[in-house]
Amino acid sequence: MKISINNAHLYDVSAELTLVFALSTDELLHEGVLSELCFKAEQDEICYLSEFKTLYVGVEANEHDLFRSAAATAIITVSKYKYKSLKLAQYDVNNSEGIFSALVEGFLLGGYKFEQYKSEKSPLFLEEIIFSSRTLEDEHSELALLEAKLLHAQICANATNFARDLVNATPEDIYPAKLSQIAKELSEQNGMSLKVLGEEALAEEKMNAMLCVGRASRHETQLIHLSYTPKNPVATISLIGKGLTYDSGGLSLKPAASMVSMKLDKSGACAVLGIMKAISELKLPVEVHGIIGAVENMIGGDAYKPDDVLIAKNGKTIEVRNTDAEGRLVLADCLCYAQEKVKSDYIFDYATLTGACVVALGQHTSGIMGHSASLKESICDSAQKTGELVGALPFNRYLKKQLKSDVADISNISNKPYGGAITAGLFLDNFIEKENKEKWMHFDIAGPAYVESAWGYNPYGASGAGVRLTLDWLSNLK
């Protein structure tokens, strides 16, 4: 689908369908007809006037994320019609409120469909969306500025959809070696370097916690290290992604219903790949290392067991009390590897780590944990600008004691059923070097990573949580 900008007023632009976002019902071109049809301009409310070839969509307030959601509603509605082209006006001059960018993202994110496994695909009629560079009141925006914003928004949304595609693919199609192959193709297409460590190399790196998790799988465990290294970077960042291509729970087997959709456990890794794709296309002046622990947690005679004691890369010993708390074991070794191999200004990890985070914050919100208040604040700023929801969960010394082990340095789960998202973050904190504590942030994306009931601009399935938020944060580094 092509998205373009025309310098003419909306009513001088040629298209088969006109889209109007309504913040109220006052002074609309078809005000009388809309009133007869009881259109109230409530958020995401739609009214299609076939006679006038016009679609109205309500927007509750002049906020970018509400426009993003309304754009998604519009594109889902229009996809049911046979119109090939659609036109709309601007709703803030020069994207001053971020509304133009939000609309572009809303169209691309809301129009996303994953139909790889469908024998019959949905028909695609809409071929072009045309923005006027002017508001309905004929206020003019700079064409060059809008074109730059259009490109940026397209890259960010397409990277998010790229991550969605990877998460939505079945575990039979995406396993650790396949994830490495995808990273290889991405590195070749986008001019990045790649290093992949198989099980022999991981053993040499003493990454035994990660290796044990994947021991019962027929697929080789692999570490993927993708690097984007521009000249004279303003900062260096390490992004670590949990890449459980499937999680059965291991010998601490999940209930049958809980195993459905566990392909989502690679969402952190896929978010990292989406971010790496976008930063290389945006040519951001930051050096970024994407490090992924690609593992499959299965059962079998060689599976790691509760009561095992694992030795992580940094030498710390871990008592296994539950093999379904495997993601933190993978991340522990990957965090150690990242700190040893790269001197970073910031270290972020992304994982669908705990159901407890969903209990704490709900299914729409990612939990963020770390030691730096200023870093949390800057991440919350980017979350607000992109419409991604985050909530900070606080560390404390009392919860830390719940990870105590009598037989090893630390247990892989808490000894109490409370504060599970925070104790998982505190477990990871054991693998962050003292000099890096203020540089590190943990993102538990278990809530929003996979959508069971569509909301906003997120259809059923993977959402690509973390991609746009991180891209905004990276874009503002100086």
Per-residue pLDDT tens over the stretch 425-453: 999 999 999 999 999 999 999 999 999 99
Q: Which long-range contacts (CB under 8 A, 24 or more apart) does 452-456 make?
A: 452/261, 452/363, 455/364, 456/65, 456/68, 456/69, 456/72, 456/387
Alpha helices by DSSP H, listed for 134-255, are: 143-168, 176-190, 199-204, 208-213
191 and 296 part of one domain: yes
- Concerning whether 206 is annotated as a catalytic residue, the answer is no
146 and 179 part of one domain: no
In a domain, 163, yes or no: no
Report whether pLDDT(478) > 90: no
- pLDDT score of 369: 98
CA dist 401 and 443 (Å) reads 22
Select from 127, 156, 185 the last residue of a domain: 156
Select from 93, 128, 156 the last residue of a domain: 156
Contact indicator for 468, 457 with CB cutoff of 8 Å: no
First to last CA, the chain: 34
In a domain, 318, yes or no: yes
pLDDT band, very low/low/confident/very high, at 8 (cuts 50, 70, 90): very high
In a domain, 168, yes or no: no
Which of 113, 184, 254, 376 is catalytic? The answer is 254
Give me the domain span that covers residue 441: 174-475
Report whether pLDDT(354) > 90: yes
77 and 199 part of one domain: no
Report whether pLDDT(422) > 90: yes
Which of 178, 266, 328, 439 is catalytic? The answer is 328
202 and 346 part of one domain: yes
CATH code (residue 403): 3.40.630.10
User: Mean pLDDT over all residues of the chain?
Assistant: 97
64 and 203 part of one domain: no
Tell me if the pTM is above 0.95. Answer: yes
407 exposed, middle or buried (CB, 10 Å; 0-12, 13-18, 19+)? Answer: exposed
In a domain, 169, yes or no: no
pLDDT in tens, 228-272: 999 999 999 999 999 999 999 999 999 999 999 999 999 999 999
Q: What is the mean pLDDT of residues 296-300?
A: 98
The tally of CA atoms less than 13 A away on the side-chain side of residue 431 is 34
pLDDT in tens, 312-338: 999 999 999 999 999 999 999 999 999
111 and 227 part of one domain: no
Q: What is the mean pLDDT of residues 59-64?
A: 96
393 and 448 part of one domain: yes
Q: What is the mean pLDDT of residues 50-59?
A: 97
150 and 185 part of one domain: no
In a domain, 167, yes or no: no
Three-state secondary structure call for residue 405: coil
Calculate what percentage of the chain has a pLDDT beyond 90: 99
Report whether pLDDT(400) > 90: yes
Contact indicator for 38, 32 with CB cutoff of 8 Å: no
Report whether pLDDT(27) > 90: no
pLDDT band, very low/low/confident/very high, at 373 (cuts 50, 70, 90): very high
Three-state secondary structure call for residue 53: coil
Contacts of 397 (CB under 8 A, 6+ apart): none
Report whether pLDDT(174) > 90: yes
135 and 183 part of one domain: no
373 and 254 part of one domain: yes
145 and 199 part of one domain: no
Select from 156, 191, 219 the last residue of a domain: 156
In a domain, 164, yes or no: no
- Concerning whether 254 is annotated as a catalytic residue, the answer is yes
Residue 111 has what DSSP assignment? T
Report whether pLDDT(344) > 90: yes
Contact indicator for 273, 292 with CB cutoff of 8 Å: yes
Task: Give one DSSP letter per residue of 352-399, joined into a string.
Answer: ---HHHHHHH-TTEEEEEES-HHHHHHHHHHHHHHT-EEEE----HHH
In a domain, 100, yes or no: yes
315 and 443 part of one domain: yes
CATH code (residue 121): 3.40.220.10
* Structural domain count, the chain: 2
